[in-house]
């Protein structure tokens, strides 16, 4: 799906599911869940709360050894009222089941964090509202982008040893940086050869590209306010659209007071090899925007090699004091691994883009 994501216009309402007996969400049921839910189940609950909606294929790739085992466990979680699900109609084929957080799951998450459900910010109607959102395809597409990175990390060899160390949702980015920028995600990717943190702008071919280019001023303002230079990755659906976007981005980038504070790289989904075993955004598809410094910056690079094109950008900070500045919800800033199977242990701190 990372090479051929479902477009919003292809979604045609939602397919009614067959009635399935479900447990009532009462005190007795909550007590039963205390011994029924595994650490992996609780991890899935947190991921759904963070990212709003994940498909059955994405959850399986993130946390299960096979699609069959994931489907069976998700069915149990649905019957227990821990997750809810819906299946959009699509023009061709059959859409995967989409999962959101259900009331019993929200109650478990709130209890673990010492909150009530209202303090958690959960409402069932809002959670299920994503099923009818005009941004559903975009939200699922961003999740697929990061899921592909996790899949790549799970299948990386010992010499590569890749890890997705952080994955912030759009909502979390808005809470931290919304006064200046609202990226689609923040991430941190590491391999044995290097590490990079980044903001992601995920273009689905529907946004006006001039508006996308106009966002660079906000990223420059954030860099000036924090003194932290964080690369911006722009993911586009086709090479043709990428070429158009690069012209507009380059023009806006040159007009910044300090262009070097906003390193930009672009890539197109169609550059990925659909025949590869595990195609992902970590592949050699990224082209830095500034190609004026010579041939070194004008070639496609793997994700972890992008910092080679920007010598002035320091690698992500690893000082222990930076996590405390992230706020009370900093524990969710990291892509905490599910118990099994997942990539190697995640980085034990928040990203250096935290306010210091």
pLDDT (0 to 100) of residue 315? 85
Summarize pLDDT for 31-87 with one digit per residue, the tens: 889 889 999 999 999 999 999 999 999 999 999 989 999 999 999 999 999 999 999
Q: Which residues contact 19 (CB under 8 A, 6 or more apart)?
A: none
pLDDT (0 to 100) of residue 350? 38
Closest C-alpha among 117, 129, 105 to residue 53? 129
Cis peptide before 341 (omega within 30 of 0): yes
Closest C-alpha among 221, 267, 225 to residue 243? 267
Q: Name which residue leads in pLDDT, 283 or 326.
A: 283
Q: Is 50 exceeded by the pLDDT of residue 22?
A: yes
The CATH T-level fold of domain 8-134 is Arc Repressor Mutant, subunit A (1.10.10)
pLDDT (0 to 100) of residue 158? 61
Write down the mean pLDDT value for the chain. Answer: 83
Q: Name which residue leads in pLDDT, 61 or 24.
A: 61
pLDDT (0 to 100) of residue 155? 83
Q: Is 60 exceeded by the pLDDT of residue 135?
A: yes
pLDDT (0 to 100) of residue 90? 83
Give the predicted TM-score (pTM) of the model. 0.83
Mean pLDDT (whole number) for 135-162: 88
Buried b (16+ CB within 10 A) or exposed e, 120-134: bebeeeebbebbeee
pLDDT (0 to 100) of residue 230? 95
Q: Name which residue leads in pLDDT, 341 or 83.
A: 83
Q: Is 80 exceeded by the pLDDT of residue 27?
A: no
Confidence tier at 167 by pLDDT (50, 70, 90): very high
CA pair distance 131, 265, nearest whole angstrom: 32
CA pair distance 167, 337, nearest whole angstrom: 11
- For 297, list phi and psi in degrees, rounded to 5: -100, 0
| Tokens read off for 283 | 């592949």
* Other beta carbons less than 10 A from residue 92's beta carbon: 6
Beta strands in 56-193 (DSSP E): 83-90, 98-101, 163-168, 185-191
SS3 (DSSP) at 352? coil
Q: What percent of the chain has pLDDT over 90?
A: 63
Q: Name which residue leads in pLDDT, 217 or 1.
A: 217
Q: Is 70 exceeded by the pLDDT of residue 257?
A: yes
DSSP type of residue 356? -
DSSP strand pairing (163-168 vs 185-191): antiparallel
Mean pLDDT (whole number) for 245-267: 96
pLDDT (0 to 100) of residue 12? 59
178 CB-side CA count, 13 A: 8
Mean pLDDT (whole number) for 318-322: 43
CA pair distance 175, 244, nearest whole angstrom: 31
CA pair distance 278, 155, nearest whole angstrom: 8
Confidence tier at 1 by pLDDT (50, 70, 90): low
Decide: 237 and 204 in contact? Cβ < 8 Å: yes
């Amino acid at each position: 799906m990372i090479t051929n994501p479902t477009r919003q216009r292809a979604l045609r309402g939602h397919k009614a599911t067959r009635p399935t007996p479900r447990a009532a969400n009462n005190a007795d049921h909550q007590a039963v869940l205390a011994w029924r839910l595994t650490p992996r189940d609780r991890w899935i609950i947190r991921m759904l709360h963070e990212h709003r909606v994940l498909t059955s294929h994405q959850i399986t790739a993130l946390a299960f050894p096979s699609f069959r085992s994931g489907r069976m466990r998700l069915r149990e979680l649905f019957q227990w009222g821990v997750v809810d699900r819906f299946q959009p109609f699509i023009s061709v084929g059959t859409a995967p089941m989409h999962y959101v957080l259900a009331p019993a799951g929200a109650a478990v998450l709130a209890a673990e964090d010492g909150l009530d459900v209202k303090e958690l910010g959960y409402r069932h109607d809002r959670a299920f509202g994503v099923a009818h959102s005009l941004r559903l395809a975009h939200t699922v597409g961003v999740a697929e982008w990061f899921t592909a990175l996790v899949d790549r990390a799970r299948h990386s060899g010992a010499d590569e040893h890749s890890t997705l160390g952080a994955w912030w949702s759009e909502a979390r980015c808005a809470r931290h940086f919304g006064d200046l920028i609202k990226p689609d995600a923040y991430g941190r990717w590491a391999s044995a050869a290097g590490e990079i943190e980044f903001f992601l702008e995920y273009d689905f071919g529907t946004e006006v590209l001039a508006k996308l280019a106009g966002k660079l001023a906000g990223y420059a303002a954030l860099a000036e306010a924090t003194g932290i230079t964080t690369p911006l990755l722009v993911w586009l659906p086709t090479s043709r659209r990428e070429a158009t976007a690069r012209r507009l981005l380059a023009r806006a980038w040159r007009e910044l007071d300090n262009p070097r504070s906003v390193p930009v790289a672009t890539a197109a989904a169609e550059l990925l090899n659909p025949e590869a075993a595990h195609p992902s955004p970590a592949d050699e598809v990224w082209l830095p925007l500034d190609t004026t410094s010579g041939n070194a910056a004008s070639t496609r690079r793997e994700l972890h090699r992008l910092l080679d094109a920007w010598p002035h950008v320091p690698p992500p900070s690893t000082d222990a004091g930076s996590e405390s500045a992230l706020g009370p919800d900093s524990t969710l800033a990291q892509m905490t691994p599910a118990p099994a199977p997942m990539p190697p242990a995640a980085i034990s701190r928040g990203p250096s883009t935290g306010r210091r």
